[in-house]
């Protein structure tokens, strides 16, 4: 007597005939995605694949962040804030993913990385066009950073266009102005390519919003979404700095930056300064 069990069939009507039909791999272009990891160490070092995938997945998440930010800007231009709440909630969760990814890379030890770091040459995350696009879109604009992309005309043109138009925070301030809030003229008409400068005249505007959230619900909720994004970005920057410190110590970065010192300096920057400054004024003695 045979002990073999009869072969069980697939449940329901699972598709098994893919002749002239699109498959999961076709839709996601997995042949391209999964063949895009090309370690350069010879012989291939085991941990180089981790390093490549870490950075490729980061770029994919950043592509989605940029997609979402552009949608939010379009809604702000149309004076419709409510759809932005879901967009910013999604961005925050993407940022959480990006933060957590550093933990995977941190399993790479200094001695392991030293065995293949030389194959990077001058390649560095500082050359990430999408990261720079995110920074510019959020308001950290530095024209000098365009020079990194001068040999890539397409990336240069894209970044220059983002540099020279209002950031998402600028668009929020312009929205508030159109809604009748006392946003000063210098916040709605300026050279958008210049770095944003904190403006004390905005503090009374945000103070009124925070002290009367029911009356100003949409701007109030939007302010908190901006603060969420700021906080998550700072956590990401800190984790980035600590991971680099853990793996290469205080070596100069492959792209020529000061490495950990450069990353530490970035922690001092804030995208939306008045949204943090106003907290000191809310509920203060003498109000």
**CB neighbours (10 Å) of residue 228?**
15
Q: Tell me how far apart the alpha carbons of residues 201 and 206 are, in angstroms, rounded to a whole number.
A: 10
Q: Tell me how far apart the alpha carbons of residues 67 and 235 are, in angstroms, rounded to a whole number.
A: 22
113 is in an annotated binding site: yes
Q: Residue 248 has what DSSP assignment?
A: H
Straight-line distance from the first to the last Cα atom of the chain, in angstroms, rounded to the nearest whole number = 90
As a three-state string, the secondary structure of 131-183 is HHHHHHHHCCCCHHHHHHHCCCHHHHHHHHHHHCCCCHHHHHHHHHHHCCCCC
Asked if residues 150 and 156 have their Cβ atoms less than 8 Å apart, the reply is yes
Q: Tell me how far apart the alpha carbons of residues 159 and 146 are, in angstroms, rounded to a whole number.
A: 7
Q: Which two tokens stand for residue 61?
A: 């998440």
**CB neighbours (10 Å) of residue 132?**
23
240 is in an annotated binding site: yes
Q: Tell me how far apart the alpha carbons of residues 222 and 79 are, in angstroms, rounded to a whole number.
A: 12
53 is in an annotated binding site: yes
254 is in an annotated binding site: yes
216 is in an annotated binding site: no
Task: Please state at what angle helix 82-105 crosses helix 48-77, rounded to 10 degrees.
Answer: 170
| Binding-site residue positions | 51-55, 113, 117, 240, 254
| Binding-site residue positions for heme | 240
| Binding-site residue positions for substrate | 51-55, 113, 117, 254
């Amino acid at each position: 007597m045979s002990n073999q069990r009869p072969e069980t069939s697939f449940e329901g009507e699972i598709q098994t005939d893919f002749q002239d039909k699109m498959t999961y791999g076709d839709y996601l272009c997995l042949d391209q995605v999964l063949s895009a990891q090309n370690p350069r160490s010879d012989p291939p070092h085991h941990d180089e694949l981790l390093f490549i995938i870490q950075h490729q997945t980061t770029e994919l998440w950043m592509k989605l962040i940029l997609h979402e930010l552009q949608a939010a800007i379009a809604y702000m231009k149309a004076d419709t804030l409510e759809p932005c709440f879901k967009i910013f909630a999604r961005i925050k969760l993407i940022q959480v993913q990006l933060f957590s990814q550093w933990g995977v890379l941190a399993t790479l030890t200094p001695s392991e990385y030293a065995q293949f770091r030389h194959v990077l040459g001058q390649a560095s995350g500082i050359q990430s066009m999408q990261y720079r696009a995110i920074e510019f879109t959020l308001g950290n604009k530095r024209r000098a950073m365009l020079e990194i992309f001068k040999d890539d005309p397409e990336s240069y043109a894209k970044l220059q266009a983002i540099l020279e138009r209002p950031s998402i925070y600028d668009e929020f301030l312009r929205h508030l102005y159109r809604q009748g809030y006392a946003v000063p003229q210098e916040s709605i008409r300026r050279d958008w390519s210049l770095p944003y400068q904190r403006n004390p005249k905005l503090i009374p505007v945000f103070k009124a919003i925070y002290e009367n959230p029911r009356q100003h619900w949409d701007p109030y909720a939007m302010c908190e979404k901006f603060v969420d994004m700021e906080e998550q970005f700072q956590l990401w920057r800190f984790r980035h700095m600590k991971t680099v410190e853990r793996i290469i110590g205080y070596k100069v970065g492959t792209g020529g930056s000061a490495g950990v010192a450069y990353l530490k300096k970035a922690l001092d920057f804030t995208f939306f300064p008045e949204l943090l400054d106003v907290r000191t004024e809310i509920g203060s003695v003498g109000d």
